[in-house]
Amino acid sequence: MRVIRTKAELREALGEPRRQGQRIGLVPTMGSFHDGHLSLMRQARRDCDLVVVSLFVNPTQFGPGEDLEAYPRDEQQDVGAAEREGVDLLWAPQPEEVYPEGFGTTVEVDARLTGVLEGDPEHRGPLHFRGVTTVVAKLFNVVQPDVAYFGRKDAQQAVVIERMVRDLDFPVEIEVLPTVREPDGLAMSSRNAYLSREERSRALALSRALRAADEAARRGERSAAALTEIVESELRNAGIEPEYVEARDAEDLSPVAELNGGPLLVAVAARIGSARLIDNVVIDPG
Ligand code: AMP
């Protein structure tokens, strides 16, 4: 595996494989790898001739007062983990390489997708997704992957990126893979590193609550309000005051009252100690 720092080096490393018609897969990450990241790399390894992983803690997707400085970083460990997954190129640029002096262009997806849930001004705000789509657009332009892999853990991010790709005609397929969880249900996240033992055990309420909503839907509950109330009450019982619990159309994030047409996204965000955690379940009406 090669660790690459500059765009020029990366383009040069990709030139020959592309000329040979190799299938190139990209896994964008902010590092601090766990099994969620590794599942994306594994799928890319199965599907592609050449696997590129980007490792960049993107400053523009963090708001003021968010955890940019504290965000866990361990490049040495990440290099070892990516190597073990058979990754070919690990692109780990410095911020100046991504945002050189005078950088002044952004990519912004419609507020109906980016101004709700995480993007709601009450929560992370729409600038979060502007940071995400701008950096992902740049990654797509530099790597020009045939396929890029994202996790359902960040369900809204996946919807936003799929829309950007469709609207701007990026010639890339988007694969969204299931959320990888700890054996006790906690969704894997780099931010779990912030949790104390007590907080970690409290955090289990998030996945438990979403599971309860999923089970209620399987038993026939169709009301979105009833499903979110199930989540809220599980969280209350664990002493968690969520930032939001919302049920929305999993494909276009529009508000939904009844589970009937398409899949329903039930998403939650909550602060537990110093960690802001998100989790979700996609409930299939069938
Ligand atoms: P991050 O490094 O947190 O930006 O995540 C990089 C990619 O890994 C994103 O596409 C995430 O959705 C995905 N990811 C993060 N956590 C998980 C998880 N627990 N299961 C599956 N994918 C994940």
Site to substitute for ligand 1 among 56, 150, 175, most atoms within 8 A of C-beta: 150
Distance CA 31, CA 88 (A): 16
The best mutation among 34, 35, 40 to test binding of ligand 1, ranked by most ligand atoms within 8 Å of the C-beta, falls on 40
- Report which ligand 1 atom has the smallest distance to the Cα of 31: 2
Distance 46 CA to ligand 1 centre (A): 18
37 is catalytic: yes
Q: What is the mean pLDDT of the chain?
A: 98
The 10s digit of each residue's pLDDT in 58-75 is 999 999 999 999 999 999
Token digits of residue 51: 């696997």
pLDDT at 263: 97
- What confidence score (pLDDT) does residue 261 get? 85
From residue 71, alpha-carbon distances to 47, 125, 275 in Å are 31, 19, 10
Index of the ligand 1 atom closest to the CA of residue 179: 20
Specify the DSSP class assigned to residue 106.
-
Is the pLDDT at 144 greater than 90? The verdict is yes
Token pair 């994030």 is found at 253
13 burial (CB, 10 Å; 0-12 / 13-18 / 19+) is middle
Residues facing 247 on adjacent strands: 266
Mean pLDDT of 145-172: 98
Nearest CA to ligand 1 atom 22: 151
Cα distance between residue 25 and residue 46, in whole Å:
10
Tokens standing for residue 207: 């996945």
Contact, 260 vs 285, CB < 8 A?
yes
Q: Provide CB contacts within 8 A for 71, sequence distance 6+.
A: 30, 32, 57, 62, 190
Please name which of 83, 84, 56, 92 lies closest in space to residue 1, comparing C-alpha atoms. Answer: 83
